Amino acid sequence: MHIRQRIVFATIIIALLAFILIVVYMTDNITEGAQLPSGDSITLQSSDITDISPVSTDESNVTDLIDASTEPTETETPDTAGPDNNPPPTEVTNDDDGFIVYHTDSSDIARGSLILINSANYYSPPEDTGFVFIGELKTPHYRVSAPDMLLSGMAIDPLNEMMEAFYDHSGLDNVIVRSAFRDNDSQQQVLDEYIRDVGKTEALKWASPPGYSEHQTGLAVDFGIYRNGAIERFDGAGTYTWFAQNCHKYGFILRYPQNKTTVTKTAYEPWHFRYVGHPHASMIKNKNWCLEEFHQFIHEYSWVDPYKTEIDDTLYAVYFTYNTTIRIPEQYGYMISGTNVDGYIVTYITGPDE
């Protein structure tokens, strides 16, 4: 009887093994049949990219330089994702040399006020864009061409401050933001209109294909002049030269200067202003750079030997790193921005003896 039980048990085991082999065989055939035929591929077009929706209208998180004294301890993760658009560190530690060490993710390269987008550098926006509605948050002395126009949350306060300063200077409130954030479809529409008007070769000097336009970051604004119910071209002349001369005080730069077209590969656009933040806008203004030249310059400096500059009686240290591990002196305010190309630009307040 004991031997018979063993035979029954062995028979059951063999049956189970056979069943498992049959299932594995069928699964392999199903998987093989689901593959694309040889030579076929799937190509994603720009229209396949999901449009970006606003995620926040809360200005409380909008910062430029973050006070390091308020940074969380080693066991916490700072909440820097959101309207300020700075790269959120995935891990924060402290080393023995008095540095905060940020361990970011490589995808954070597309975040921050210093990202570089041009004809050579494609931009894929992060999911948490931190866009806000300009019409809901703007001050009284300028206009917007559409009530649902979006802008990066980190740029709305500086934009408002700049527009109020211009009004105080000139008494004029007829400047209108005619364009800010554009999604892929809107950017393609702008390019198509230029192509119809001036042809493709000339159009590409003025408008970029989807993915290569600063407008898709929400950090750029195009101005116009609102007069007699119509929007006229903003030429930056006369009273309006104030913007090119003073925008750096509010973290903006004239993105495509007339004397930098060979560097930017874009025609002179006196109406196009880009937010890069402090102190970088003043650095770019003082050195007579465009954004491409700023990036090229900062690439020569590391955390061991950062570039130091004094802006408005404050000494800043700025450096570039390819690494996702970022070192910052823990006693100072700082800002981290991806480049959208190859690494990060780190800026912190320092002192003459550092």
Q: How far apart are CA 211 and CA 49, in angstroms?
A: 10
Q: How far apart are CA 324 and CA 104, in angstroms?
A: 5
Q: 19 with 27: CB under 8 angstroms?
A: no
Q: 83 with 132: CB under 8 angstroms?
A: yes
Burial 236-251 (b: 16+ CB within 10 A, else e): beeebebbbeebbbbb
Judged by phi (left if over 0) then psi (alpha if -120 to 50, else beta), residue 253 lies in beta
Q: Which of 32, 136, 161, 269 is catalytic?
A: 269
Q: 334 with 86: CB under 8 angstroms?
A: no
Strand 175-179, strand 143-144: pairing: parallel
The label of the residue with tokens 């196009």 reads: 272
In terms of Cα–Cα distance, which of 314, 234, 230, 239 is closest to 278?
A: 314
In terms of Cα–Cα distance, which of 348, 349, 339 is closest to 108?
A: 339
269 annotated active-site = yes
The burial class, CB within 10 Å (0-12 / 13-18 / 19+), for 80 is buried
Q: 276 with 114: CB under 8 angstroms?
A: yes
In terms of Cα–Cα distance, which of 266, 176, 192, 288 is closest to 226?
A: 176
Catalytic residues: 269
